[in-house]
Amino acid sequence: MSKMLRFFIVLLLISVTLSEFTFEPVILAHKPKGFTTYIEGNDLEDVKEFRFLGRLNNGRSIIIWATKLDSNGRWSSHNRNLKLNIGDEISFEVTVWKKDKTEYSKNAVSTILYYTPLNGECLETQTLTPGLEKKHCGSDLLFEDDFVNENLNSSVWNIEQYIPQYTEDNYEFVSYQDSNDCKFISNSRLFIKPTVRAPEEMDNILDLRQGCTKSLPESCYHQPIGPYINPPIKSTKIFSKFAFKYGRIEIGAKLPVGDWIYPQVELVPNHVSRKYPKIVIAYSRGNPQLTLKNGDDIGNNILYGGFVSDYKEPERSAGLKSKVLSEPNKEIKKYSVVWTPDMLLFAYDNEVYGRIKIAHKELSDYRIAFGVGVGGNFDFPNEAKSGNKKKPWLNNDSKQAKKFLNAKDEWFSTWIENDVALQIDYVRVYAL
């Protein structure tokens, strides 16, 4: 085959690829009733009309047509009478006809996560923001950090510094520190990265009294004695100074990968004396393959989100919802929680995978928490195996941190550069 002929075939293939018509339907819910549906895509100037066939919560049928562009230059249509609630689910088929009479269809399911105001009106909101006196409307952006600055914004975030105790909930094998090794911003992305302490640090006194954020002396100062070694890992945990009750939070994040690591992406009670209940936004164990005795895989292909009322089992897992991921933790994904007075919705890249009904009295106002933990008493069942290697410690064993460190040759090879870090691209909170 001549070079010229191959050149024209390549051009033809490129032309076909570029001219392929693609579109995505969008649904916008309005308050107190009505919704708009429109399509986004390429070659929309060649569209003649489109039809929306929907079913609300597998019940009421909806049909609307669009035969001309709206004032925004979009192919859109409006239903002005249907009342939609947060959490409602619409299954639908959108069919588009081009001017040349070709027909394209797409089926999808959309869950109503928020309302979009029409004509700029201020929607009544249920969101409460203690200390934020400015009036806000439904769908307003209340809090945002996209980490464009070189350093973490200290006017927005508090940084924890303390040593978890054997008597505390989980006793993870870390000390939380304001350390540039464990907390840094690169390319507008916040990294919270667990790091292994140097051998010479393990025998020295760990003194975090300068800037310690706990009141117990032993949480700020530790002298290693016998099996009670220094925490073998350094990490970071931060809390937002912003607090809210009811709203929608969206976080663009890549969860950490590596044996015995887990992320802390949560909403936690604002009141300092309370630890629970907390809302888990995104959680997965870092082990790529983590199996129980019965063969169940609980590794990083399982995403969890939910409502945690206690640190002990079975209460700890009873309020969690889960989703199986095909390609876990390889890139930034969007994790969302919609929090109303009656329910919590959990979504992964806008796909709702969990719904939890809640009682009004259970929750006050909450802050955003980011961190990375390693090991501990409750995140990894005793019978778990990572690949073909047994978990190197037993929960509640006085020597558990030491046994974990002694098995470093087994797990450290899975800690690959910045993949072990929780990477946050952005966090946003909207009024609801």
Q: Could you read off the pLDDT of 45-87 as tens digits, one per residue?
A: 889 998 999 999 988 899 988 878 887 788 888 888 899 999 9
Which residue(s) pair with 249 in the sheet? 337, 429
Q: What total of structural domains would you count in the chain? A: 2
Whole-number percent of the chain with pLDDT over 70: 94
Domain containing residue 373: 141-430
Q: How many CB atoms lie within 10 A of CB 52?
A: 23
Q: Does residue 130 lie in a domain region?
A: no
78 and 146 within one domain:
no
304 and 162 within one domain:
yes
Q: Does residue 29 lie in a domain region?
A: yes
User: Residue 322 — φ and ψ, nearest 5°?
Assistant: -140, 160
Cβ neighbours of residue 8 under 8 Å, at least 6 residues apart?
Answer: none
Q: Cα 171 vs. chain centroid, distance in angstroms? A: 24
Q: Could you read off the pLDDT of 358-371 as tens digits, one per residue?
A: 876 668 899 999 99
Q: Does residue 383 lie in a domain region?
A: yes
238 and 331 within one domain:
yes
CB 325 within 8 A of CB 283: no
Which parts of the chain sit beneath pLDDT 70?
A: 1-19, 133, 167, 272-273, 360-362
CB 404 within 8 A of CB 260: yes
Give the pLDDT of residue 167.
Answer: 65
250 and 304 within one domain:
yes
CATH classification of the domain holding 375? 2.60.120.200
Q: Does residue 1 lie in a domain region?
A: no
How many CA within 13 A on the CB side of residue 293?
3
Q: Does residue 410 lie in a domain region?
A: yes
Q: Does residue 46 lie in a domain region?
A: yes
CATH classification of the domain holding 92? 2.60.40.2140
208 and 88 within one domain:
no
Question: How many angstroms separate the CA atoms of 212 and 164, rounded?
Answer: 12
Residue 244: both structure tokens together? 């809210």
Q: Strand ranges (DSSP E) for 122-246?
A: 141-145, 157-159, 174-176, 183-185, 190-192, 195-196, 206-207, 221-222, 233-235, 237-244
